[in-house]
Amino acid sequence: MLIYNMKNLNKQLGKKVAVIGAAGGIGQPLSLLLKLNPNVSRLSLYDIVNTPGVAVDLSHINTNSNVVGYKGQDSIGEAITDADVIVIPAGVPRKPGMTRDDLFNTNANIVQSIGQAIAKHAPKAHVLVIANPVNSTVPIIAETLKKAGVFDPRRIFGVTTLDVVRASTFVSELKGTDAVKTKVTVVGGHSGVTIIPLLSQTGINFTQEEIEKLTHRIQYGGDEVVKAKDGTGSATLSMAQAGARFTNSLLEALEGKTGIVEPSYVYSPVAAKEGVAWFSTNIELGVNGVEKIHPLGKLSEYEQKLYAEAIPELQKNIKKGEAHVNK
Ligand SMILES: NC(=O)C1=CN([C@@H]2O[C@H](COP(=O)(O)OP(=O)(O)OC[C@H]3O[C@@H](n4cnc5c(N)ncnc54)[C@H](O)[C@@H]3O)[C@@H](O)[C@H]2O)C=CC1
Ligand SMILES: O=C([O-])CC(=O)C(=O)O
């Protein structure tokens, strides 16, 4: 008699990662990087358009994972069933002159419907939200999962990795340091004044003028790309790398590797006294997702001012996301 032990079978099958919005500007290079990642065994690509082509193309790469493409809303359930990790770069990007919040009206509904599908078909998955405005789309996913009774704060992540990727690059360009080794903690949210680089914690000496210029560049790095792309979109390639980095860190942690720290916008006590439930700081990842949330550490006077400026904007963005689901 053949008895299937699903637990062992799943272990043999390895980790399943689903990309929602896989045919898009971020989705395609992100899926490529995940196809190259030995920690991914099953890659499930979902979009409302073009996924079969992307999936067949990637499936010819000789790495040990299988790729399946799913197109159209009827197939999202199958695409995400059994997924360990679901990454969401679905939704419209900015054009010059827009803020991330200007994307809310379109992307809130997209993200909410994806959240409903996750609640139904993959309530135990770890959900990585890339779709903007992250400050609001993450609470939308959370409220949607809460409504369905499957909310686990350890498994929802706003992807803010690109902010630290940029911060490392911009600091190393200015100071001539190794970009790979230059680490900058960035906390808060993922838009304008809510992005708070903690340059005082880098151990590098900056003048006040350098601090102010760098802070502005890190806060508005996304705008540099939007402007350069001149109406054709926002960051896709650097975002794909940042998203692949975060996904890989989480997969390693899920496999039991300890001491893995990445920044992420998560359900957090750090700014709770200000009435801000979602906040990005460095977090330690573990087998259940969020393992430990790092505190802010010591802030300079300038950083305290940035923090004070970020709080009301975060309060507003979070409330807007929650209200969208609970209206
Ligand atoms: N968190 C971050 O640091 C960053 C976030 N973003 C955000 O990522 C999102 C995607 O950006 P791009 O890839 O450049 O946009 P894109 O327009 O190139 O791709 C979006 C993809 O989402 C798909 N899509 C739309 N509705 C969908 C649905 N209901 N279900 C599944 N797929 C759906 C589209 O068909 C398209 O293929 C934007 O909201 C953008 O603002 C972009 C860069 C950095
Ligand atoms: O700027 C945008 O709209 C896309 C984004 O979030 C980023 O590049 O950080």
Q: What is the CATH number of the domain that holds 63?
A: 3.40.50.720
Same domain, 166 and 143: no
Same domain, 175 and 112: no
CB distance 235 to ligand 1 below 6 Å:
yes
219-237: per-residue pLDDT in tens? 999 999 999 999 999 999 9
**Average pLDDT over the chain, rounded to whole?**
96
Contacts 24+ apart (CB under 8 A), 296-305: 296/187, 296/198, 296/270, 297/185, 297/198, 297/201, 298/200, 298/201, 299/198, 299/200, 300/200, 302/200, 302/208, 302/211, 302/212, 302/215, 303/196, 303/198, 303/199, 303/200
Give the chain's domain count: 2
ipTM of the complex: 0.99
Same domain, 204 and 298: yes
How distant, in Å, are the alpha carbons of 17, 39, 113, 242, 246 from that of 253? 14, 11, 28, 17, 11
CA distance 254 to 288: 7
Last residue of one domain, picked from the residues 137, 158, 179: 158
For the chain, percent of residues with pLDDT exceeding 70: 96
pLDDT at site 208: 98
Closest ligand 2 atom to 226 CA: 1
For residue 6, pLDDT beyond 80: no
Q: Average pLDDT, stretch 22-51?
A: 98
**pLDDT category, 12, cuts 50, 70, 90?**
low
Is residue 297 within 8 Å of residue 112, measured between CB atoms? no
> Peptide bond before 263: cis, by omega within 30 degrees of 0?
no
Which residues span the domain enclosing 154? Answer: 2-158
Same domain, 174 and 208: yes
Same domain, 13 and 111: yes
Q: Please, which residues have CB within 8 angstroms of residue 319's CB and are 6 or more apart in sequence?
A: none
And the tokens for 27? 């989705």
208 or 327, higher pLDDT:
208
Other CB atoms closer than 10 Å to residue 219's CB: what's the count? 22
pLDDT at site 14: 84
Centre of ligand 2 to C-alpha 144, Å, is 24
151-205: per-residue pLDDT in tens? 999 999 999 999 999 999 999 999 999 999 999 999 999 999 999 999 999 999 9
pLDDT at site 142: 98
And the tokens for 103? 């994307």
Same domain, 143 and 190: no
Same domain, 113 and 168: no
This prediction has a pTM of 0.97
Give residue 140's identity as a one-letter amino acid code: I
CA distance 221 to 37: 27
pLDDT at site 149: 98
Last residue of one domain, picked from the residues 158, 175, 209: 158
CA distance 88 to 289: 17
Same domain, 13 and 110: yes
CB distance 94 to ligand 2 below 6 Å:
yes
List the alpha helices (DSSP H) in the chain.
Answer: 6-13, 27-35, 51-59, 76-80, 104-121, 134-147, 161-175, 208-219, 221-229, 237-254, 301-326
Smallest Cα–Cα separation from 94: which of 56, 131, 49, 52? 131
118-152: per-residue pLDDT in tens? 999 999 999 999 999 999 999 999 999 999 999 99
For residue 306, pLDDT beyond 80: yes
Same domain, 83 and 183: no
CA distance 60 to 124: 30
Radius of gyration of the chain (CA): 19
CB distance 166 to ligand 2 below 6 Å:
no
For residue 5, pLDDT beyond 80: no
Which residues form the catalytic set?
Answer: 190
Same domain, 123 and 136: yes
And the tokens for 313? 């904007």
Centre of ligand 2 to C-alpha 236, Å, is 9
Last residue of one domain, picked from the residues 114, 136, 158: 158
245-294: per-residue pLDDT in tens? 999 999 999 999 999 999 999 999 999 999 999 999 999 999 999 999 99
CB distance 100 to ligand 2 below 6 Å:
yes
How distant, in Å, are the alpha carbons of 68, 74, 84, 95, 251 from that of 47? 12, 11, 18, 21, 22
Instruction: Report which bound ligand comes closest to the CA of 223.
Output: 2
CA distance 320 to 101: 10
The CATH number for 180's domain is 3.90.110.10
Same domain, 149 and 168: no
Instruction: Report which bound ligand comes closest to the CA of 49.
Output: 1
Same domain, 206 and 231: yes
